[in-house]
């Protein structure tokens, strides 16, 4: 009786192993979303394990039904976690299963190639299962580092149409090859030939699988390098614009100083002649000229000032008011490219949102509490819900939707986060983008 229940538990663990492997492949290779929330994960695990256990202890149940459980539950999992095209996620089961079969076939093919027999239940399969769960435990032990690494890369890992189709084709091919390798002994081929075919077939499957995954991952990296090039150019352009604006202000100030003597003489002449109204007009003109020499917004950081004032010029042309409350630390060590990413993307998104609205304003708030730096951008919006990061409502989704992702990538370098939300204030829907950054220790007193 004890041996029977031991086998039942072992079979449940094996089924969970298959389901977990399928989920990992969908996450790492296909970049599919994962299930959020510990409660949801526990409920899904219970919903999987209970019927899996029931099928085994219920007399008369077919073993094939039990074998299909992990695959069926994976299809359900894809429907649950996908944000869109949920039904299409069911069809992803076949190529993902193909990638798993490409790996599993090796563990069957190696002993068969060497001995001419497939491994039965026993030491070899137990060793393979043990290796799998040891790897799972190591990943769980290092989960903070693993999750941090995956999330840093996540914004720049998107599957293009050709990459996804390429993975589909490779997965289906691996599925077919894996099924053929496992059934090679049923084809009537001689033992030696079957062993050779199985050995070379399994090696070819693994080589194909590794090549496909590496090719797609390298293709994803181009987005990262393209982004870094773009943000570097943006940063350099921001510095150049800041320098030119500074030069222009200095030139206007020198001109004002040069002409100030003449202005004073003119005002003296008007005062002696009692032309009070003309003096008021003249002073108004001088005040306007002086305002042109001033920088509109000061954040405490030259790069942030350059970007904000650049966007402020565009905003004024479109009738948008930009206001700033608070200041950045004077000796902030956040990289200029990261500041550029945060301020440029947030202001671009806000300007785009208010472009066609009657209310046109953007508020920037900067607060610091200890090592925590909070930067909030607020603007009116017509949207009713927040678009998920990486998504966009624009007509060209392949080239848009990176703004929040880029900001999130920059924030995570400083153990921070980006939160977007919509609230209603005085009858107006307001979109807020809240950025949290953890400053280095030496900036505690900044």
List the domains of the chain with CATH numbers. Answer: 2-230 (no CATH), 297-446 (3.30.565.10)
Pair of tokens at residue 129: 């299962």
Pair of tokens at residue 273: 């002649």
Residue 378 φ then ψ, to 5° = -130, 145
Mean pLDDT estimate for the chain: 76
pLDDT at 435: 94
pLDDT at 446: 40
pLDDT band at 445 (very low <50, low <70, confident <90, very high): very low
Does pLDDT of 189 surpass 70? Answer: no
Close Cβ partners of 29 (under 8 Å, ≥ 6 residues apart): 96, 99, 167, 213, 216
CA distance 222 to 228: 10
The residue length of the chain stands at 446
Ramachandran assignment for 358, one of left (phi > 0), alpha (psi -120 to 50 degrees), beta (any other): alpha
How far is the CA of 131 from the CAs of 17, 125, 137, 138, in angstroms?
11, 10, 10, 11
What is the bridge-based pairing of β-strands 428-438 and 417-425? antiparallel
Per-residue pLDDT reduced to its tens digit, 260-301: 666 677 777 777 777 777 777 777 776 665 555 555 667 878
Least-confidence region, from 13-22, 69-78, 242-251: 242-251
pLDDT at 193: 76
Percent of the chain scoring above 90 in pLDDT: 7
CA distance 352 to 135: 47
CB-side exposure of 298: number of CA atoms within 13 Å? 4
To 5 degrees, how large is the angle CA 175–CA 18–CA 15? 130
pLDDT at 378: 94
What is the bridge-based pairing of β-strands 361-369 and 372-380? antiparallel
pLDDT at 400: 43
CA distance 390 to 158: 9
Does pLDDT of 256 surpass 80? Answer: no
Does pLDDT of 436 surpass 90? Answer: yes
Contact 331, 290 (CB under 8 A): no
Pair of tokens at residue 203: 């090696």
Contact 319, 305 (CB under 8 A): no
Contact 124, 111 (CB under 8 A): yes
Per-residue pLDDT reduced to its tens digit, 30-79: 878 888 778 888 898 888 888 888 877 776 666 666 678 888 899 999 98
The closest of 167, 164, 160, 161 to 99, measured between CA atoms, is: 167
How far is the CA of 50 from the CAs of 17, 58, 429, in angstroms?
15, 12, 46
Between 383 and 249, name the one with better pLDDT: 383
Highest mean pLDDT among 25-29, 140-144, 290-294: 25-29
pLDDT at 396: 46
Percent of the chain scoring above 70 in pLDDT: 70
Per-residue pLDDT reduced to its tens digit, 355-401: 888 889 999 999 998 888 999 999 999 887 776 554 445 544 444 45
DSSP SS3 for 160:
coil
Contact 75, 30 (CB under 8 A): no
Instruction: Enumerate the H helices of 116-160 as residue ranges.
Output: 123-141, 143-153
pLDDT band at 25 (very low <50, low <70, confident <90, very high): confident
Between 351 and 266, name the one with better pLDDT: 351
Pair of tokens at residue 414: 């400083």
Does pLDDT of 414 surpass 80? Answer: yes
Contact 119, 194 (CB under 8 A): no
The closest of 95, 118, 94, 97 to 106, measured between CA atoms, is: 118
Least-confidence region, from 93-107, 137-151, 354-368: 137-151
Contact 290, 297 (CB under 8 A): no
CA distance 312 to 351: 10
pLDDT band at 339 (very low <50, low <70, confident <90, very high): confident
Least-confidence region, from 18-22, 41-45, 172-176, 239-243: 239-243
């Amino acid at each position: 009786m004890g041996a029977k229940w031991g086998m039942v538990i072992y079979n449940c663990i094996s089924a969970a192993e298959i389901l977990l492997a399928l989920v990992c492949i969908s996450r790492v290779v296909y970049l599919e979303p994962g299930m959020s929330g510990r409660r949801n994960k526990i409920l899904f695990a219970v919903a999987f394990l209970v019927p899996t256990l029931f099928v085994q202890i219920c007399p008369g149940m077919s073993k094939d039904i039990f074998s299909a459980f992990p695959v069926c539950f994976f299809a359900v999992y894809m429907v649950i976690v996908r944000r869109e095209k949920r039904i299409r996620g069911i069809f992803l089961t076949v190529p993902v299963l193909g990638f798993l079969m490409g790996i599993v076939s090796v563990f069957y093919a190696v002993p068969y190639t060497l001995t001419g027999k497939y491994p039965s239940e026993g030491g070899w399969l137990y060793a393979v299962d043990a290796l799998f769960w040891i790897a799972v435990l190591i990943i769980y032990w290092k989960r903070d580092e693993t999750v941090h690494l995956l999330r840093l890369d996540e914004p720049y890992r998107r599957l293009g149409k050709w990459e996804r189709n390429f993975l589909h084709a490779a997965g289906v091919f691996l599925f077919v090859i894996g099924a053929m390798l496992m059934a090679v002994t049923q084809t009537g081929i001689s033992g030696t030939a079957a062993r050779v075919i199985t050995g070379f077939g399994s090696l070819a499957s693994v080589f194909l699988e590794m090549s496909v995954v590496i090719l797609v991952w390298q293709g994803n990296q181009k987005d990262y390098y393209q982004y870094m090039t773009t943000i570097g150019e943006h940063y350099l352009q921001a510095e150049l614009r800041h320098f030119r604006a500074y030069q222009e202000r200095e030139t206007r100030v020198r001109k004002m100083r040069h002409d100030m003597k003449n202005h004073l003489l003119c005002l003296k002449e008007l005062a002696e002649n009692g032309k009070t109204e003309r003096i008021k007009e003249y002073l108004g003109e001088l005040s306007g000229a002086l305002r042109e020499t001033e920088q509109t917004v000061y954040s405490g950081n030259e790069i942030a000032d350059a970007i904000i004032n650049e966007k402020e010029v565009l905003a004024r042309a479109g009738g948008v008011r930009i206001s700033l409350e608070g200041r950045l630390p004077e000796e902030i060590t956040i990289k200029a490219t990261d500041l550029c990413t945060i301020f440029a993307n947030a202001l671009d998104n806000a300007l785009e949102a208010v472009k066609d609205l009657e209310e046109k304003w953007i508020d920037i708030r900067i607060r610091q509490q200890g090592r925590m730096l909070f930067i909030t951008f607020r603007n009116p919006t017509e949207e009713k819900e927040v678009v998920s990061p990486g998504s966009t409502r624009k007509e060209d989704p392949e080239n848009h939707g990176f703004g929040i992702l880029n900001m999130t990538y920059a924030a995570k370098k400083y153990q921070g986060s980006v939160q977007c939300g919509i609230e209603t204030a005085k009858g107006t829907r307001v979109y807020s983008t809240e950025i949290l950054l953890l400053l280095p220790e030496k900036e505690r007193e900044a």
